[in-house]
Structures are given as structure tokens and as C-alpha cells.
Amino acid sequence: MKITLPSGKIITASAGLSILESLNQAEVYLTASCSGKGTCGKCRIIIKDGKTKSLSRMKLTQEEIEKGFALACRTFPEGDISIDIPKESALTVEGRIATGKSKDLQELLRSMNTEIEPITGRLYMKLPPPTLDDNISDLERLKRALSSEGLGCLRVPFRSLKNLADILRAKDWEITLCTIQSEGCEEVTNILSGDRTTPRYGVAIDIGTTTLVVYLIDLTNGSLIDIASTYNSQIKFGDDVITRIVYATEQNELAAMQNTVISDINMMISLITQKHKINMDTVDSIVIAGNPTMTHLFFGLNPAAIREEPYILTANSFPLSFAGELGINVRPDTPLYSLPSVASYVGGDIVSGVLASGLHKKEELSFFMDIGTNGEMVLGNSELLVTAACSAGPCFEGSGIRHGMRATEGAIEDVKINRSSLKPEIKVIGGVSPMGICGSGMIDAISEMFLAGILDSKGALRKEASDRVREGADGLEFLIHSEGGKEITLTTPDIENIIRAKAAIYAAFTTMIKEVGFTFDDISRVYIAGGFGQFLDIEKAVILGMIPDIPREKFIFLGNSSIKGAYLCTLSQKMRAEAEEIAKRMTYLELSVSRSFMDEFMSGLFIPHTEMNNFPSVKALMES
Amino acid sequence: MKITLPSGKIITASAGLSILESLNQAEVYLTASCSGKGTCGKCRIIIKDGKTKSLSRMKLTQEEIEKGFALACRTFPEGDISIDIPKESALTVEGRIATGKSKDLQELLRSMNTEIEPITGRLYMKLPPPTLDDNISDLERLKRALSSEGLGCLRVPFRSLKNLADILRAKDWEITLCTIQSEGCEEVTNILSGDRTTPRYGVAIDIGTTTLVVYLIDLTNGSLIDIASTYNSQIKFGDDVITRIVYATEQNELAAMQNTVISDINMMISLITQKHKINMDTVDSIVIAGNPTMTHLFFGLNPAAIREEPYILTANSFPLSFAGELGINVRPDTPLYSLPSVASYVGGDIVSGVLASGLHKKEELSFFMDIGTNGEMVLGNSELLVTAACSAGPCFEGSGIRHGMRATEGAIEDVKINRSSLKPEIKVIGGVSPMGICGSGMIDAISEMFLAGILDSKGALRKEASDRVREGADGLEFLIHSEGGKEITLTTPDIENIIRAKAAIYAAFTTMIKEVGFTFDDISRVYIAGGFGQFLDIEKAVILGMIPDIPREKFIFLGNSSIKGAYLCTLSQKMRAEAEEIAKRMTYLELSVSRSFMDEFMSGLFIPHTEMNNFPSVKALMES
């Protein structure tokens, strides 16, 4: 059997395989948050021609079914078919990510009061050639020279012996040693002929659940050469970390998942180095930052224990590893350093973010929040660091929301509701026709719907408020936009999802502050990190009751702070030591077993909150 | 084109390839000391049928040529042919080697005053399972337990993280750590589930130029489980270390040569472990001892600089390596320790031998000599260790001698010449018809020929002495044996070769003793090591002038002392430390540039010596 794709390309379909599985085999990937279980309703396709059998039409409206929509994971071809893949179902490779400016980054580095002193070094030496009177072996000659420079403890591992004889003699006993410091001991990672102290580069990688970002950095001056980014292709195994853990464990696909992310990273490194004509031999170091699950999958470590009580990681601080051990296509002996994790859901990305924010060195009390696929928070200053994670829910990334999508082209990112006509005005990323709604659009929409009286404080749609509130497949729903037969709605389950997510974030915030004996007034700064954060409208988020009603000037947007911290660690041993220190200092609050968190969460299931007095500006707005 | 072998097997021959090359391609190997250059005359075959073209018939007599003999390396088939391979040309896989007896070895170990404390350890631990209140990561939990046992500095490398989560949970948090001490730092090499402290085994390997010997050792009690041995298949690349270095360098065959020896070792380890139903998982450590060239080829290190002035090794002491890095088929993380080398031609085998002799700890002055393919000597005691190497010449292994062969079945090992009939009486290894003459046979023959007046003191054959002295292709030759048309002779060039070799050994001996200001009388012990040594007739060797004329009770035969030292190091960290100490203490005397050695060598080109007074017992014998 054959499946004809929109492009005209024809792929083979096998009996017994769903259309989704056949597409995956042909390396055509659809969004499938639930990894093909038929529950997320994301892998919609349109059957243009041919006979199929559908096991389930869940999440599809009668109208959609009539138009030929089907869930690729639940639909099986019964002969040759031809399909269409709606834009919102296809996994594209272009993300909308925080781009780092070289100048800003170098400024950040300077603000940290640190020298450029990369974690990997290059050391040029000229050895005296052997004679009959000085005929010690090559290795002893090298070690003698190192000792005379006070580097006697520099370890030369077995793999560095390979070709040593030839390397020493190739450029008349001039060599360059590549070195790394690890666990208090310096080690040679490679030996090159001649003076090769420049050029040399470092690669910093942010391994997000959804997006991967690579920085190529000049290690001699700290300048950012270029950025590459792509979706994490692991998305085909599920949208959020829990689904990925389940997939790795129950489907026994750990190795495949590791290969997937390594292959994404290789693709980006190769692209970016080729573009700048940079020899792979000059890539001296790799630094990664990711949440614990992403880090485990990257290293090929079984993540099963992360999601089972008592929620245990294989490691917080990872021993030094090498590109060759992981399949990364630079020099096999290029060392890889991973920012340390703190607990099951607080990883190197958060440690990296705190490092970049500098809050851990300041006297003032700060709050750091990174709302990505998950929500992680840190409360602290130079004396105290408390961290917690909550299932902010992947809903802000589009998962579990009927028309939800990530903040890419075609996503509604801004919603205003005309107070008299109650008609929403929308802004779409890329200025195209809307295909769905992203996190910031959801927050806008819900807070506007609340202010306009379409939604009550319990989050229930008021049917009498507008004829845009109507009965849908899942109860009442609100029509945000309709264009050319394509409708974008927020359904009652969507709204419940969003309110649960915002309640969790606010509850984490308040629980942490109470736990250490402070109030909101004690907070001097709120750092908002993450791809979602930077498009957030603070006013709307306060109205929704997602973040506390405190002076707006206290909020600072950091953008992708995870990659920024990784950048700092690539360039500075001091920064790496600080990152390790941050991870060690952090106290983890397990919210899932906290009674106080559950109480706060229940109180937060209102707009903005049960306790209106906590939100004076919203109260004033309501009264005006 | 096809070549039919004696067995009836038919192999393919290609135009442009010599018969030797075609045989090698089909993995049929002949002795070829010169690695196929047409100079050693060893790769004789008989063309039974078919047309061939011979580029050279050097080293073949007219009679042999008439019988169809040809040099396989210089002869090319011109159509289908059928050949015979004389026994003496074929490389066989059975050697005649020193076999270690378990009881003797354990006695040796006890005599060293050392405990059984292998260089690799196994450590059983039971960790407390994690709880919500004690939810540190697996690695931190392991490190905490190690710290509480005072093992906080034990390094856990990245590769040990793989599967750590599963291993800890598989047997209810009971684990066994495999560890190794290296450069002052202890490191985990593997982590196993449950209590796996026994059984565990070690493998000691003597990598000889000609023969490989493997000991399988029970690490819990030091008993020798079994021995395997085989010829070093690198022989197909040349008989002696120089030819092998040339082959590795000029033919760019280093990788092939490394594979060859590793494959021999794998074959033996596999054979011996299967025989005793020993699981590869229980092989915890590998210790090797070999001369510098063999060690370099084993590690895949370019040996070119060893044979070029100023004669430099890549390393004396080799950093820790692992089976997986070398392709040895035990656990990839099984550590491999190499006995250290001293100088270009004094290697781990000699350090190992000195260790096993114990001479380095005794007050009495001893002399240690290992006459294998090369000749290495050590003079010393607890205060002094001087070492030197001389090209004793591979002639005692059969190379460069027309009918020379190794001490295997068919070799004449003992020659007596009837003083009246002047007819030699021979003893052949295995009691079969003789195929050639081995080292001890040569020494016997020459000293007997001298005593019988067939040879003068300058090493010239006396034609008038016997009708067994006759004109041959290379001048005068002596017929030792004739049987069924097969003749075994010693030619004038053969005799010159042997005399040069014995002169070199004696000159090394005397030069070393003079260099440190001693005389022969100061020597309390002479240790004779090596496969050749154990069949040596001391009396005859003294008559030949190869070894000094000192009281016979001072001579001690050690057998294969190289494997014995490796055995000791496998079982004892203290022995390994002593071996490193021995290598560091040794002063290397470069004889090739010593004026004194050259003078001694010239004086030694007589039987027994220019200075007859140095050989009172021979003088007495001559006079009687």
C-alpha cells in the first residue's frame, strides 16, 4: 500500500501500521503529544483519497470528520491513500527562540567579574629533542617538560599515547596540549603538532524539552560566532518529560531517544561549523544545560526512577565525559561538561539560569521562574536558595488545548476583547492566518474573557454573555476566531487546564515564600526566564492570577537564561565552579507532597484568586 | 589460477602475487624471517606440478633446485600449480614452552613476602534505599556510602553511570564495585548487581617475539587455573624485532600487526576460559610483559623511533588502559597493566624477570641474562641495577642459519661428536627425524666441533679434519646429519653468525661488569631466563665462550621469568610497585656506542676467547 503526501512524495504503508507509524518510518513527523496513544488529538491529517479504517475519532468534531479529518495514530489505510497534512500537525524545524547577541553576552560575561578562562585549555610547548645522552621516552620527556612548568600533576591518559611519537616529531618537537580540569585533576585530552593555541571554539547547548539551541563560541575572546536552533526531535516520542520517560521505559526506546537528540545536535553543530568554515579539530569543549529528564536521555541513562516516588536521578553532578563516548561528531576526545541538576525536576537549565541571573550573589531576595514545558522556580539570594518544580503543564506549549500550539508562525499570541462588541482582536505570529493559540495568547484570552464578563471568577463560561459562547463537543466553548471555515476556540476543558496550570504556578510561588518565612513585599526582583516568558504580558498574567500582584518594575525578562549560563560556563572555570556551588546550595522543596501547596493550589483555581485582596490592582480594575 | 596445497585444499592465486603472498591471503603462513624479501631462504616450498617463474634461487643448492625447491616469496605461478610445504617451512601453532606449576608459583609468591592483594579490587556494599526524605541521586548515594567507608576519593567515571539506576535496583541496593588503583588514585571500573566478590580471575600474558604465553589465575587464592601458549602470529611479518619495526613502519602495517597479536591473545583467553567454564565477566585484570617493540605493537604505538638513533620509546611506564580500548574480548572495562620498559631494547619482560628472580632485593651481586630472540642482561643487587641489550641475534632461534629452527619437534637439540670417528650423535626433540637444528644444538655442535678439532679457534672449518667437512654453496660446511636424502649442515656463514652472537653475549657480560668496577669473582649468581636458556648445556656454552668460566653452581635456570613476574604483579599491588621501582632504578648501558664493548666483542670472535686464561676449565680440558 502507498500513501501520497501533500508534496506528491509517495511512501510505503504496511498493513497493521497506523498512518502515523508509516509516516514516522518515512521520517515524516507529526505533532503527537501523547506519542500515538490517540488521546491528544494533535496528529490530525485529512484523507483526500482512498479507503481507511479509524479506530477512534476522539477530539474531532462532526464537522471535521465530514471534512475528512482523521487522527493519524488511530487510522489505518485499507489500500492506497492520499493525505493532506495541516500546517498545525506538521513538526517544522524552525523555532521562535531567544537569539543571543554577541555584544550582550560579552557584556554579561564582564558583569560576572570573570576572566575568559575556558574550562578547556591549550598549552604550547617546545620539547628538547632526544639525544643519545638524553634518551628518555617520549612520554617521560613530555612529563619532564610539564613538571618544569609546574604542571607535574597533569595526567596523560592512555589514549593520548596513540601517535605521540609521530606528533612530537612532525613539527620539530613543537606541540600543543589540549587539557581539561576535572575533579581537581588536570588531564590531557589531545596532543597536536606545532603551535595550535588558536583558533579554538566552544559549543554551548540548551537541551530543552521542545527546543534545542546551540551557541558556537570563540574561546579566545568570548564572542558568539553563531546560533543554531531546532525542535527537539524527541517530540515524536511525546511532548512533555513524563511522556518521554514513559516512552523510554515502557517502549524500551532509551537508545533511540538518545540517538535522536544527539543527531539533532550533530546536525546543528555541523551546519554552524561548515557555515563558518571552522575545522572540527578546533572545537575544544561542549557544555550542556537541560532539565534532568533531557539530561538523562542525552546521556542514555534510564530515567524511570525520576517519575516514581521517591523521584531519584542517576546523578546530579555528572562525571566528565567525551564527545566520542556520546556520538557527538567533533573530536572524540573533546570533553563535555553538563551543568549539574538539583532534583528530579530541577535541572542544569535552572542552575544555568540562576547563574546567568546572578541572583545567588546578591543580598536582595529574588524569585526566578522558568515556565517552559514544566515550571521551575527558585527563591533566594546570596544566603539562601530554595527551588521547586510544578507541573505548570505543557498546556502553555499547546499540549492538552484543542487549538493549542507552540509560539511559532500562525500562533495567536495576543488577544484583546472589545468590551462592547465582545469580539476578540487577535495578533498572529508572522502575520499569517491563525492556525492555533500559543501560551501568551491563552493568558491574554482568559484574562480578557474574565474582564469582559464572558468568564466568571470560577472559570466557567457564561452562555448569556455572548453568542460566541456556544455548546461544543466538550461542553461550552468560546469562539476566538473564525476564518475560511477554520475556527479557533477555547473549550471548557481547555480553560480548566489553563486555570489549573496558573494555579500551580502561583501556589508554588506562595508556598515557597511562606516556607522560608517571607512575604511578597520582601521580593526585590522576579526573573522570568524561558521561551514562553519573553512573550508574556505581565498585566494579563496578574489578572489571570498566575503571578503575584507586585510592582511591575520588579519583573525582569531573562529570555533563554539556560543557554546564557552554559555560555558563561564554556568561557570560565570560575562560572563552572559557581554553577556547581549553586546546585549544592539549593534546597529542593517537593511540592507534590506538600499540604500547604495543595491548599494554595485549591485557592488558586479562581480568577484571579479566592483571596481578591492579594490582587489589589485587579480589584481596582474590576471596581473601575 | 589455483594452488593445490599438500592437504588437497585449493587456494586462489593472483597474477603479480608471489606464492608466499597468495598463501598469506589464504591464511597459510610460512616461516619468513625477512618478511618476504628473499634474503632469509626460509620459505622453501616444493613445486610438485605446474609452471612457475622464480626471480631468485638464493639460499637454494643446485640439488634442491633440481628437486623442485623454490622460495615462495620469489616465485610466481604461471598457471595452476600444486605445491608441497616441508615441515620446517610451515608455521605451526604448538610451541615448546616453560609450563608453570601452580604449586611452584604459589611458593614463589610466598617467597616474595607479599599478601594476595590484586591490583584490581572488588568491593561489596549494601546501600540504604532512597526515600522521600533521603532522595539524593544514585551517584551521590553511592559516593556517600564510599565516603563513610573512607573511600571518598574513589573516582566514578562517566561510563560507570550507564545502567547505574538499574544495577542499584536489581538486587535491592546490593552491589559489587570493581576497582583499580592507578597513579595514586583509585577508580571504579565496573558496578555489578548483588554480591559478586567471588569468583574473580586475572590474566597474565608474556608477549614474546616468538611465543605468547597466557596464565589464567584465580585472584582469590593465587592458584594457576591453566596455561595457553602459541606462536606469536606476527612471525609472518618477520622473525626479529627489527624486521617487525621495519614492517610496521615501511609497510604501514602497524594496525594489522596489532590486530594479529590481539587476535592471538583473544584466541588463547577464549580457549582457556571456555575450557574451565569461566564467565568473561569474572576476568578482572590483565597484566602484560613484553619487550619494548612487542609492547609498542601490542598497544598500536609506532615503533619507528626505537630503531633509529637515539633509540626512543613512546613510553616506559604506560598509563592504565582498558581491554575495550585494545579489542581484548573480556569486559571492555577490564583494566590492563603493562610491566614498564627501561630502554629501547630492555622491556617489561626483563623487569618482570628481575622481579621474579628477586635479585634486586639481595645483597649478593647477580647477573641476569635472557637469551631469546634478543639478548638482554642485568647486573645488580639491592643497591645497583645496570642493564644492557645486545643483538644476540635471532640465530639461536634459527634465523640466519641455513638449517636453523626453533626448539620445536624435529630440532636437533643435542650434538656429541665421537672423538675417533668424528661422527656426530644427535638428539632430536620429539624423537623424530631431524628437520633442522635449534640454538642449544648449535652451541653443542660448535663446541664439540672445536673440541674434536674440526673447527679451529678462529671458527674456521678444517677441511683436512674430516670428510664431513666439504665444499658447499657458501664455502666450507660441516655435515651434521644425513637421512633419506635430507642433509643438515652448518655452513661457514652459519658458524660465523653463531660466533658473532656468542661474542656479543660475552662482551656484554664483561663490559657491564667492568663498567661498574667488578670482576667475575664478585658474581654470586647467574640467572638464565628465557625459553632458550632452559635447554642450554652450561659446559658447552662455556667451551664456546658464550658465558664466563665460573663455578657451575652459580648458574640458576629461571625458565620463563617474564610470565612469572607478570603472575606476581597480577596478584600483588606491592609486586607491581616493585616492578615500577626496578624499572626506575635500572641504568641502561647503550652498548652499540660503547668502545669497550666493541673491543670485547672483537676479542670474543674466537673459541672460546682470545684470552684463554679467562677460561681455565676449557684450557684444562684442551690440555688433557
CATH number of the structural domain spanning residue B334? 3.30.420.480
Q: Would you say residue B491 has pLDDT above 90?
A: yes
Comparing CA positions, the residue from B607, B623, B605 lying closest to residue B457 is B607
Q: Which of B141, B154, B159, B161 best probes binding to A when mutated, by most A CB atoms within 10 angstroms?
A: B161
Our measurement of the distance from residue A496's CA atom to the centroid of its chain's CA atoms, rounded to an integer in Å, reads 25
Q: Would you say residue B532 has pLDDT above 80?
A: no
- Work out the end-to-end distance of chain A between its first and last CA atoms, rounded to an integer number of angstroms: 65
Q: Would you say residue B441 has pLDDT above 90?
A: yes
Q: Would you say residue A8 has pLDDT above 90?
A: no
- Shared domain for A218 and A313, answered yes or no, is yes
Residue B374's pLDDT is what?
80
CA distance B14 to B28: 15
Contact A315 B341 (CB under 8 A): no
Instruction: Write out pLDDT tens, residues A18-44.
Output: 998 888 777 677 776 566 777 778 788
Cell numbers of A293, please?
529528564
- Shared domain for A542 and A569, answered yes or no, is yes
- Shared domain for B312 and B254, answered yes or no, is yes
Q: How confident is the model at residue B104 (pLDDT cuts 50, 70, 90)?
A: confident
Residue B311's pLDDT is what?
93
A112, part of any domain = no
- Shared domain for A518 and A602, answered yes or no, is yes
Share of chain A above pLDDT 90, in %: 71
Task: Tell me the whole-structure pTM to 2 decimals.
Answer: 0.82
Residue A206's pLDDT is what?
96
Radius of gyration of chain B (CA): 27
Per CB-CB distance under 8 Å, the chain A contacts of B319 are 155-158, 160-161
* Cβ atoms of B232 and B248 closer than 8 Å: no
Residue A139's pLDDT is what?
96
We report the CATH number of the domain holding residue B363 as 3.30.420
Residue B93's pLDDT is what?
39
Contact B135 A343 (CB under 8 A): yes
CA distance B21 to B4: 15
Residue A449's pLDDT is what?
97
* Cβ atoms of B512 and B375 closer than 8 Å: no
For the ranges A67-71, A138-142, A478-482, B300-304, the lowest mean pLDDT is seen at A67-71
Instruction: Write out pLDDT tens, residues A341-377.
Output: 999 999 999 999 999 999 999 999 999 999 877 889 9
CA distance A543 to A540: 5
A16 burial class (0-12, 13-18, 19+ CB within 10 angstroms)? exposed
- Nearest-CA distance from A536 to chain B in Å? 34
Average pLDDT over residues B578-589: 96
Is the alpha carbon torsion for B495, B500, B501, B505 positive or negative?
positive
Our measurement of the distance from residue B55's CA atom to the centroid of its chain's CA atoms, rounded to an integer in Å, reads 34
Q: What is the mean pLDDT of chain B?
A: 91
Q: Would you say residue B572 has pLDDT above 60?
A: yes
- The secondary structure element, H or E, covering residue A49 is strand A44-49
Q: Would you say residue B99 has pLDDT above 60?
A: no
Residue B150's pLDDT is what?
86
A95, part of any domain = no
- Shared domain for B515 and B598, answered yes or no, is yes
Q: How confident is the model at residue B533 (pLDDT cuts 50, 70, 90)?
A: low
Instruction: Write out pLDDT tens, residues A536-548.
Output: 899 999 999 999 9
β-pair partners for B399 = none
B108, part of any domain = no
Residue B190's pLDDT is what?
93
- The secondary structure element, H or E, covering residue A11 is strand A10-12
Domain count, chain A: 5
Q: Would you say residue B95 has pLDDT above 70?
A: no
Contact A310 B138 (CB under 8 A): no
We report the CATH number of the domain holding residue B64 as 3.10.20.30
Comparing CA positions, the residue from A187, A230, A205, A179 lying closest to residue A326 is A205
Region of B398 on the Ramachandran plot (φ > 0 left; ψ -120 to 50 alpha; else beta): left
* Diameter over CA atoms, chain B: 101
Size of interface A-B (CB pairs under 8 A): 138
Residue B97's pLDDT is what?
39
- Shared domain for A235 and A123, answered yes or no, is no
Is the alpha carbon torsion for A548, A554, A560, A564 positive or negative?
negative
Residue with cell string 645486545: B390
Q: Give the side-chain half-sphere CA count within 13 A for A494.
A: 34
CA distance A414 to B333: 57
Q: Which range of residues forms the domain containing residue A475?
A: 403-484
Average pLDDT over residues B379-401: 89
Q: How confident is the model at residue B210 (pLDDT cuts 50, 70, 90)?
A: confident
Classify strands B321-322 and B211-218 as parallel, antiparallel or unpaired. Answer: unpaired
For the ranges A79-93, A111-125, A127-141, A295-309, the lowest mean pLDDT is seen at A79-93
Instruction: Write out pLDDT tens, residues A476-494.
Output: 999 999 998 889 999 999 9
Average pLDDT over residues A172-201: 91
Q: How confident is the model at residue B57 (pLDDT cuts 50, 70, 90)?
A: confident
- Shared domain for A78 and A221, answered yes or no, is no
Q: How many CB atoms lie within 10 A of CB A432?
A: 11
- Nearest-CA distance from A163 to chain B in Å? 6
Which strands form B475-483's sheet, in the order they lie side by side?
A: B469-472, B475-483, B486-491
Residue B32's pLDDT is what?
63
Our measurement of the distance from residue A1's CA atom to the centroid of its chain's CA atoms, rounded to an integer in Å, reads 38
- Shared domain for B532 and B386, answered yes or no, is yes
Average pLDDT over residues B359-367: 97
SS3 A424: strand
SS3 A7: coil
Residue B393's pLDDT is what?
66
* Diameter over CA atoms, chain A: 101
A97, part of any domain = no
For the ranges A566-580, B31-45, B162-176, the lowest mean pLDDT is seen at B31-45
Residue B98's pLDDT is what?
40
Q: Would you say residue B276 has pLDDT above 50?
A: yes
Pick from B132, B156, B322: CB nearest A309 = B132
Residue B37's pLDDT is what?
74
Q: Would you say residue A617 has pLDDT above 90?
A: yes
Is A165 at the interface with chain B, CB within 8 A? Answer: yes
Q: How confident is the model at residue B559 (pLDDT cuts 50, 70, 90)?
A: confident
- Shared domain for A145 and A247, answered yes or no, is no
Average pLDDT over residues B197-224: 94
CA distance A24 to A31: 11
Q: What is the mean pLDDT of chain A?
A: 91
Cell numbers of A522, please?
520582601
Share of chain B above pLDDT 90, in %: 71
Instruction: Select the more confidently predicted residue: A94 or A140.
Output: A140
For the ranges A540-544, B395-399, B457-461, the lowest mean pLDDT is seen at B395-399
Q: Would you say residue B102 has pLDDT above 60?
A: yes
- Shared domain for B176 and B53, answered yes or no, is no
* Cβ atoms of B320 and B182 closer than 8 Å: yes
Instruction: Write out pLDDT tens, residues B4-51.
Output: 988 778 899 988 899 988 887 776 777 765 667 777 787 889 999 999
We report the CATH number of the domain holding residue B127 as 3.10.20.880
CA distance B243 to B246: 5
Q: Would you say residue A224 has pLDDT above 60?
A: yes
- Shared domain for A75 and A181, answered yes or no, is no
Per CB-CB distance under 8 Å, the chain A contacts of B310 are 130-132, 134-135
Residue B35's pLDDT is what?
65
From chain B residues 265-324, the ones with a CB under 8 A of any chain A CB are: 299-302, 304-305, 309-322
B188, part of any domain = yes
Per CB-CB distance under 8 Å, the chain B contacts of A314 are 137-139, 161, 164-165
Domain closes at, from A89, A111, A144: A89
Domain closes at, from A338, A359, A375: A338
A316, part of any domain = yes
Residue B550's pLDDT is what?
95
Instruction: Select the more confidently predicted residue: B472 or A26.
Output: B472
From chain B residues 131-150, the ones with a CB under 8 A of any chain A CB are: 131-132, 134-140
**SS3 of B142-183:** HHHHHHHCCCCCCECCHHHCCCHHHHHHHCCCEEEEEEEEEC
Cis geometry, peptide bond prior to residue B199 (ω within 30 degrees of 0): yes
Instruction: Write out pLDDT tens, residues A272-316.
Output: 888 888 998 899 999 999 999 999 999 999 999 999 989 999 999
Q: How confident is the model at residue A92 (pLDDT cuts 50, 70, 90)?
A: very low
- Shared domain for A173 and A68, answered yes or no, is no
CA distance A79 to A2: 7
A99, part of any domain = no
Pick from A139, A161, A315: CB nearest B137 = A315
B290, part of any domain = yes
Q: How many CB atoms lie within 10 A of CB A85?
A: 18
Contact B302 A158 (CB under 8 A): no
Q: How confident is the model at residue B460 (pLDDT cuts 50, 70, 90)?
A: very high
Domain closes at, from A461, A484, A507: A484
Average pLDDT over residues B274-288: 92
CA distance A24 to B291: 56
**SS3 of A137-163:** CHHHHHHHHHHHCCCCCCECCHHHHCC
* Cβ atoms of B235 and B31 closer than 8 Å: yes
SS3 A197: coil
Is B610 at the interface with chain A, CB within 8 A? Answer: no
CA distance A585 to A347: 14
Share of chain B above pLDDT 70, in %: 96
Q: Would you say residue A533 has pLDDT above 70?
A: no
